[in-house]
């Protein structure tokens, strides 16, 4: 997998996370607020080790890390109690990403000493403690990303071995394991081989059919002694590489021999995919939209707009539709889920992993596909269908206004326009006129001879103010008919 060399520097530059964030997973939280709780007692004990000089190797995590002091204590004594790999165990049972953030920021567990190697595994309690709609994978991913940012700030010379969340549950279709698989697939992209090294050896815990052995994980969540032996045997060579590495030296990530959930055979337009490795603004918008949803406290939206930059520009700073959008919001509660540059697979991932959770909606609008690079219109149409299916499954109470991909290019024979028209001819069949309503006003953007001019789209792709007025005029009667206002 391609490594994202700019991740940590980009995260630090964003600087958007704070204790006021609406998303629980990125909000530093000190457990239950009781200064006498057992977690605080453990934290105070660990701070004594910190004050004594810390250690060159640091383990950070939840009970799976904590229990190096239980089922894994003999293995720990053998590999991490002394010598160059001498380590401090900063695992606390039941911790989620927000608790780790508190321990590293307010708690100061990385302060006052210089570590060389930090091993981080966290997130299984984010999925295990809350239902999907309260803790979708995107929140956990953002929480882990913020922990990496804090580590980079607190320990700028240390390298992080980011370990995949261990498999849990008896079988591969365990609900929490599947959620963790989504998280693992995305956080693996945070590795750059220098500051962050990915480490996944989960195949060593599993049978060929994905079953987790009770001999290795007695409760199907925490390793037994043999599980900790496998953990140590898998990670010690990587720790040694980190400890002996020269400044700037790249260290290869560790991948399972038969990774589950990391490869797909269906068309890319259908395959849910994020853009976390690409551009920091996409990650920022993910956070902003989850904050908007969570911060609104489960309200019912009149309209949820789903799409790419054409939808995004209804509300984007400097967007050509912004003034009209502001007027529209005086009548309707609207959530804009348009992201510039998105393809069907990116929207599918967002719809599956957080952006449809925590609210009700009366009406969705959907237009997507113009950014898809696939040459086969049927593949792009399948991607649109997949997005539509996710919306309908998660919000069966809502109507969906499905729109064709807008025309693009000056002339009718523009290759992208021709491809999009073929997609449109397929997706119009997805509408049933009842729950999914087809709304085609593409002709309004065109001159009588089929050409398109800068009168409606300055770049022949995105509507300008005139183009958004055409859109608004076409869709307003539908809003009034369905929403009654």
Per-residue pLDDT of the chain (485 residues; tens, 9 = 90+): 333 323 333 333 223 333 344 799 999 999 987 888 999 999 999 999 999 999 999 999 999 999 999 999 999 999 999 999 999 999 999 999 999 999 999 999 999 999 999 999 999 999 999 989 889 999 999 999 999 999 999 999 999 999 999 999 999 999 999 999 999 999 999 999 999 999 999 999 999 889 998 999 999 999 999 999 999 999 999 999 999 999 999 999 998 875 544 444 456 888 888 888 666 788 889 999 999 999 988 899 999 999 999 999 999 999 999 999 999 999 999 999 999 999 999 999 999 999 999 999 999 999 999 999 988 999 999 999 999 999 999 999 999 999 999 999 999 999 999 999 999 999 999 999 999 999 999 999 999 999 999 999 999 999 999 999 999 999 999 999 999 99
Which residue among 66, 99, 395, 462 is the active-site one? 462
Which residue among 63, 268, 309, 414 is the active-site one? 309
Nearest CA among 340, 354, 352, 279 for reference residue 26: 354
Q: Which CATH superfamily is 7-244 part of?
A: SGNH hydrolase (3.40.50.1110)
HEC per residue, 170-233: CCCCCHHHHHHHHHHHHHHHHCCCCCEEEECCHHHHECCCCCECCCCCCCCCCCCHHHHHHHHH
Does the domain at residues 280-483 carry the CATH identifier 3.40.50.1110? yes
- Each residue of 17-30: b (16+ CB within 10 Å) or e? beeebbbbbbbbbb
Q: Is 309 a catalytic residue?
A: yes
Calculate ∠ Cα 246-161-147, nearest 5°.
115
Host H or E run for residue 101 = helix 97-104
Q: Is 234 a catalytic residue?
A: no
**Whether the Cβ atoms of residue 256 and residue 200 lie closer than 8 Å to each other:** yes
Which residue among 173, 219, 413, 459 is the active-site one? 459
- Whole-number pLDDT of residue 258: 52
Query: CA-CA distances (angstroms) from residue 215 to 69, 203, 211, 224, 246?
Result: 19, 15, 11, 7, 39
Query: CA-CA distances (angstroms) from residue 426 to 377, 386, 468?
Result: 8, 13, 25
**Whether the Cβ atoms of residue 144 and residue 187 lie closer than 8 Å to each other:** yes
Nearest CA among 108, 373, 466, 69 for reference residue 228: 69
Q: Is 414 a catalytic residue?
A: no
**Whether the Cβ atoms of residue 254 and residue 234 lie closer than 8 Å to each other:** yes
**DSSP bridge pairs for 197:** 161
Domain boundaries defined on the chain: 7-244, 280-483
Measure the CA–CA gap between 65 and 45, rounded to whole angstroms: 16
- Whole-number pLDDT of residue 278: 66
- Whole-number pLDDT of residue 267: 67
């Amino acid at each position: 997998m391609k490594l994202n060399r700019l991740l940590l520097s980009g995260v630090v530059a964003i600087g958007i996370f704070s204790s006021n964030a609406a998303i629980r997973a990125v909000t530093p939280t000190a457990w239950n607020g009781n200064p006498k709780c057992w977690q605080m007692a453990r934290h105070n004990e660990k701070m004594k080790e910190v004050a004594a000089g810390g250690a060159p190797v640091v383990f950070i995590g939840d009970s799976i890390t904590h229990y190096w002091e239980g089922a894994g204590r003999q293995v720990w004594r053998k590999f991490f109690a002394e010598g160059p790999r001498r380590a401090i165990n900063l695992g606390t049972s039941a911790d989620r990403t927000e608790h780790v953030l508190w321990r590293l920021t307010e708690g100061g567990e990385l302060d006052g000493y210089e570590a060389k190697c930090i091993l981080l595994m966290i997130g299984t309690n984010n999925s295990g403690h809350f239902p999907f709609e309260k803790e979708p994978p995107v929140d956990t991913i953002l929480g882990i990303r913020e922990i990496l940012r804090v580590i980079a700030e607190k320990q700028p010379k240390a390298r992080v071995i980011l370990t995949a969340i261990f498999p849990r549950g008896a079988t591969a279709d365990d609900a929490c394991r599947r959620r963790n698989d989504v998280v693992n697939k995305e956080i693996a992209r945070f590795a750059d081989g220098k500051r962050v090294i990915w480490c996944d050896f989960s195949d060593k815990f599993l049978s060929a059919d994905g079953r987790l052995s009770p001999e290795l994980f007695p409760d199907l969540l925490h390793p037994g002694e043999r599980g900790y032996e496998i953990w140590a045997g898998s990670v010690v060579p990587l720790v040694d590489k980190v400890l002996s590495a020269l400044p700037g030296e790249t260290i290869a990530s560790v991948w399972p021999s038969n990774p589950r959930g990391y490869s797909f055979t269906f068309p890319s337009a259908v395959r849910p995919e994020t853009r976390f490795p690409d551009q920091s603004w996409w990650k920022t918008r993910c956070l902003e939209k989850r904050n908007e949803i969570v911060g609104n406290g489960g309200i019912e939206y009149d309209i949820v707009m789903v799409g790419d930059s054409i939808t995004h520009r209804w509300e984007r700073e400097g967007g050509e539709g912004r003034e009209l959008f502001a007027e529209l919001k005086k009548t309707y509660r609207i959530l804009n889920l348009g992201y510039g540059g998105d393809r069907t697979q990116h929207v599918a991932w967002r719809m599956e992993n957080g952006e449809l959770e925590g609210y009700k909606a009366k009406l969705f609008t959907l237009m997507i596909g113009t950014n898809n690079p696939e040459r086969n219109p049927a593949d792009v149409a399948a991607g649109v269908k997949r997005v539509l299916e996710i919306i309908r499954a998660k919000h069966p109470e809502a109507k969906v206004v499905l729109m064709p991909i807008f025309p693009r290019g000056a002339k009718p024979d523009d290759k992208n326009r021709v491809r999009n028209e073929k997609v449109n001819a397929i997706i119009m069949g997805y509408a049933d006129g009842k729950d999914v309503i087809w709304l085609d006003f593409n002709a309004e953007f065109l001159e009588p001879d089929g050409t398109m001019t800068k009168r409606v789209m300055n770049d022949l792709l995105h509507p300008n103010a005139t183009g958004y007025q055409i859109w608004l005029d076409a869709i307003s009667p539908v809003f009034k008919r369905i929403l009654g206002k």
